[in-house]
Structure 1
Amino acid sequence: MKTKIKLLILCIGIGFSIISCGTQEKHDGYILNGVVEGAPDGIVTMSIEDKLLDKVIFTDTTQIVEGKFTFKGKIEHPDMVILKLGKVQTSFILENSEMELSMDLNQETDYLHTSIVTGSVSNDLYMKSNAEMEAIIADEKYQPLVDNNNKLKEIDQSTKEGVQEVIKLVNEVQTTLYPLFTERNNRMTKVALSHVKNNPSSASSPWIIGGSFMGLSPEKQKEVFSSFKGDAKNTCYYRIFENTINSNANKLVVGKNILDFTLQTIDGKSLTLSEVEGKYILLDFWASWCGSCRKSMKHVKHLYENYKKDGFVVVCVTTGDTDAKWRKAVKQDGTEMWHHVFDPRSNAKRKKSGKVADLYGIKGLPTTYLIDDNMMIVGENLRGESLDKKLEELFGH
């Protein structure tokens, strides 16, 4: 009898154990299992950086042992993460699901490695369209563009000869290679727009349209932006687009008054734009690394000589640059007779624009404004022949 009771209790215990295991709650966050060939033991980190806020808004850390690691946690919304292992990094869209990552450090030498990630629906969508765009870039007809870019990377821009070579190569893209450049960009933009149209709620959409968004017309930007839904609206890139849309609404255009600022000149004095004396002022945002900026200055020097007696003044704002390179470029280009001010970057570790350029909503260099003595904009991004005609109209000769 005692034996029967013991057996009954044992069976009941086993039964409860089975029921307990069967009803165990499933993890509602992410589990990322990684296998990395050739990786030393150490620390692996995942992070999301909000570039608009200039801060890390999510981070997770784990250990890699014998080439394997596991992350387990929960993310508020799917978004692109950067995974770092020592000096090596890779990126993918993390979401709350069971995911697998594989990477071989023996196959690549660059710090940015290719990884294979499975288990993330958002990342699968992103990789599919990204592969289409990479196929366009790899098209043999666009090889001259690739060659041009490779040459630019190899040039030492610290020398006068290097700067001249950069200007030459940039000019080549803007002239003989421009039709090819435009065609390739249009094809890639078409892929990105199709992705957004078919996946408006996916976190992949803002990331796949990425840089192409900035090349769209303000009207098209607004159309694309308003199409985002769900997870797409919670990504870091969406907030960048939102900032762009807001900037467009307050954009400085002909007929509006320019914003005032105060910056340090090349000789350490303070310059306030509203205090600069001149009948017409050309405000030029540029950088030492911008070949087209420096090329256009050659023509402005000619115009300055023609109109300086009439009250034509040039104020150059260097942004996204270093102090030393700025000073060297001014001397190399022979433009010391103009007003030069430096717009320091808020984070010197990155090539990003300064506070004044951000205030103005500058999206690319060079950007110029022609203003009158009442601080009103009378011309925007006038260069070459268009600037010639405008100054001739304003000064009467």
Structure 2
Amino acid sequence: MKPIFKKYVFAALALTSGSLMAQNKSTFDAKGHINGLADGEVYLAYGNFINMKADTVQVKDGNFEFIDSVTEPCYGMLFNHDYTLKVDLFVDKGNISIQGDIDSAYDIHVKGSPFVNEYATYNQAVNDTKKPVQAIYEKWIAAYNSGDSDNVTKYKAAFNSARNKQAAEGAKLQLDFIKNHPNNNASAWELFHYLNEKSLEKSKSMFAGFTDAVKNSEQGKEVSNRIATLSRIEVGHFAPGFEQNSVDDKKITLASYKGKYVLLEFWASWCEPCRAESPNVLAAYKKYKNNGFDVLSVSLDHIKKNWETAIQKDGLLWTQVSDLKGWKNDVATLYGVQAVPANFLIDPSGKIVAENLRGDDLNKALQKFLINKQ
């Protein structure tokens, strides 16, 4: 059975293979046996969000073994090339046992240190919430393949309902784990993925409850830095200033937009949701540009030609800037952007007044700020 869920899809699976840290390393031995796992390569990615390492070993008769070292307990993901095997785990010094069956992907058992076991128990509970959704999904696909349109409709509705229920259950399990394991680095890992602009205050409180060891871990430091970044760009705060080059290599500053409402939009030519949203932004630009509104787009592209082609094809009329560093774009880093599309609406004084406005929400916000206040 191939799970329909992939818990974390990280930019790290461009997998930088640099070392996690140089000091105080401890050896781990992760030995596994997965019934039915085909001979070939299996991979273990482990580390924190910014610094992720990947190892590769060969599977023989379902058996495999990873021996390496870590400086502290850290997140790991075991997987094969087609994700028929995907196991979230925590990696810690000492022996780690991974046992299961390829046809029961949500029931692969991981055992090791107390940190490893605590996360394994949590992860199994999360997987248990996914099983009913998987079962309905398989019935939906079977109905589709057999041309049973009545059951396709029935199971599609049931799948969406079950998935929403699973998301709520998974979120509760995540928060309970974070709160109940303040001394486990895994809580910092989970908090990093829970943390966003809407959950900032709650996340600050949970981070404050961590032990000093977790706060000062590499993962804890990432959470602390993320909290600091999101705190800097909260609605009501002045937008951080920056300078970046336009397509025609002119230096553009955010400060030059003072006196206008400006939508600071983060996108990329390769981002389909961004391109799908572009017509909405273009319509808003045309509608409100004579009312003191402008758009400034920051591209997370690497290749200038792709960026230029997308601008031309989509008919984007406002200023575009980029440093062509992709996800490492300096402005995106400054604003804590980890997914695109993303945007911030900034008022004439330079304060952020709204964020992540999509669809009609953008039009409503501009109506509120530009028309109703006149």
Q: What TM-score do you get using the length of structure 1 for normalisation?
A: 0.63
Contact 2:129 2:170 in 1 (8 A): yes
Equivalences for residues 93-172 of structure 1 within 5 A: 93-101=90-98, 107=102, 116-140=109-133
1:375 matched to which residue of 2?
350
Q: Secondary structure at the match of 1:139?
A: helix
1:361 matched to which residue of 2?
336
Contact 1:30 1:71 in 2 (8 A): yes
Alpha-carbon separation, structure 2, partners of 1:355 and 1:365: 15
Alpha-carbon separation, structure 2, partners of 1:87 and 1:139: 22
Alpha-carbon separation, structure 2, partners of 1:240 and 1:143: 37
- The alignment status of 1:286 with 2:261, answered yes or no, reads no
Q: Residue 355 of structure 1 aligns to which amino acid in structure 2?
A: D
Distance 1:143 1:278, change over 3 A: farther
Q: Residue 388 of structure 1 aligns to which amino acid in structure 2?
A: Q
Equivalent residue for 2:321, pick from 320, 335, 341: 341
2:179 matched to which residue of 1?
197
Contact 2:259 2:349 in 1 (8 A): no
Larger Rg: 1
Q: Residue 367 of structure 2 aligns to which amino acid in structure 1?
A: D
Contact 2:269 2:301 in 1 (8 A): no
How big is each residue's C-alpha offset from its partner over 1:327-365, in whole Å with a ceiling of 9 and x where there is no partner?
343233221x211112533xx5xxx35220111223544
1:154 matched to which residue of 2?
none
- The alignment status of 1:392 with 2:367, answered yes or no, reads no
Equivalent residue for 1:248, pick from 214, 230, 245: 230
Distance 1:189 1:83, change over 3 A: closer
TM superposition shift of 1:192: 0.9
Aligned residues: 321
TM superposition shift of 1:306: 3.2
Alpha-carbon separation, structure 2, partners of 1:51 and 1:64: 27
Equivalent residue for 1:237, pick from 219, 235, 241: 219
TM superposition shift of 1:77: 2.5
How big is each residue's C-alpha offset from its partner over 1:190-245, in whole Å with a ceiling of 9 and x where there is no partner?
01111223322123323345523337522211121122226544554322221122
Runs (5+) with no aligned partner, structure 2: 1-24, 141-158
Q: Secondary structure at the match of 2:284?
A: helix
- The alignment status of 1:298 with 2:282, answered yes or no, reads no
- The alignment status of 1:92 with 2:89, answered yes or no, reads yes
Distance 1:143 1:240, change over 3 A: farther
Distance 1:340 1:178, change over 3 A: farther
Q: Secondary structure at the match of 2:241?
A: coil
Contact 2:191 2:223 in 1 (8 A): no
Q: What TM-score do you get using the length of structure 2 for normalisation?
A: 0.66
Distance 1:308 1:94, change over 3 A: closer
Q: Residue 78 of structure 1 aligns to which amino acid in structure 2?
A: P
Distance 1:85 1:137, change over 3 A: closer
Alpha-carbon separation, structure 2, partners of 1:252 and 1:191: 27
Contact 1:278 1:312 in 2 (8 A): no
